[in-house]
Amino acid sequence: MLETIEINPAKNANASIIWLHGLGASGHDFVDIVPQIHLPKNTTLRFIFPHAPFRKITFAHNTPMRAWFNITGLDTAQANQDEAGIYESQQLINELIDQEIARGIPGERIIIAGFSQGGAMALQCGLRYPEKIAGILVLSGFLLLADKLQQEKNLANQSTPIAMFHGELDHVVQIAWAKMSYEKLKDFGFNIAWRTYAMHHTLCPEEIIQINKWLQEVLTTTIDN
């Protein structure tokens, strides 16, 4: 089981969001997002920030760092994808979802979010999870193993709300990769929204405001009903 940081609401949680960090980061990197989002005080949402396992990253001269999968280069999002690492992390993240369900949070009240590599894994897990989940939030991320999605996707999440937000000046995960991912998911008939911002590989205040709106919409339409 992955090590995690948890932030629980004042009242018993009736929903959870699993927030996945990017390459070389850790669960600590997005803890500060909780007060920045400014969700209503009565929101009973549990935040879970897992730490990815350490692995050697080819692109970084085999330096060990926390990562959901190995990266050989930044020339293209689809080149030499680490299938073994992706599927290993998918299983570990699925175990976190399973754990939340065991704690009394139904799958349809669980959101998966992530930044960069974490955003890619949010899509990887959310589109394939065997039960319906509440939503998928992808920040500066892209679609992994696109050629396998048609056979691996779960119809339970065909209508699950997906939001992809990306920086127009992002030179790490190029916006062209993310846009192609969005178009492919749209072609597959997924319920997906797309927004871009004048920023690099990071978050900006305008994006955080939109995250607030999207989360509240998901919590209201998908969870409260």
| Active-site residue identified among 116, 140, 166, 181 | 116
Strand partners of residue 162: 136, 192
Whether 116 is catalytic is yes
Q: Among all chains, which residue has been given the structure tokens 């048609």?
A: 150
Which of 21, 82, 166, 170 is catalytic? The answer is 170
Residue 201 a catalytic site member: yes
Q: Which amino acid does the sequence have at 206?
A: E
Distance of CA 24 to the CA centre of its chain: 16
User: Does 28 qualify as catalytic in the annotation?
Assistant: no
SS3 per residue for the chain: CCCEEEECCCCCCCEEEEEECCCCCCHHHHCCHHHHHCCCCCCCEEEEEECCCEEEEHHHCCEEEECCCCCCCCCCCCCCCCHHHHHHHHHHHHHHHHHHHHCCCCHHHEEEEEECHHHHHHHHHHCCCCCCCCEEEEECCCCCCHHHHHHHCCHHHCCCCEEEEEECCCCCCCHHHHHHHHHHHHHCCCCEEEEEECCCCCCCHHHHHHHHHHHHHHHHHHHHC
Query: CB-based contacts of 221: which residues, under 8 Å, 6+ apart?
Result: none
Name the residues annotated as catalytic: 116, 170, 201
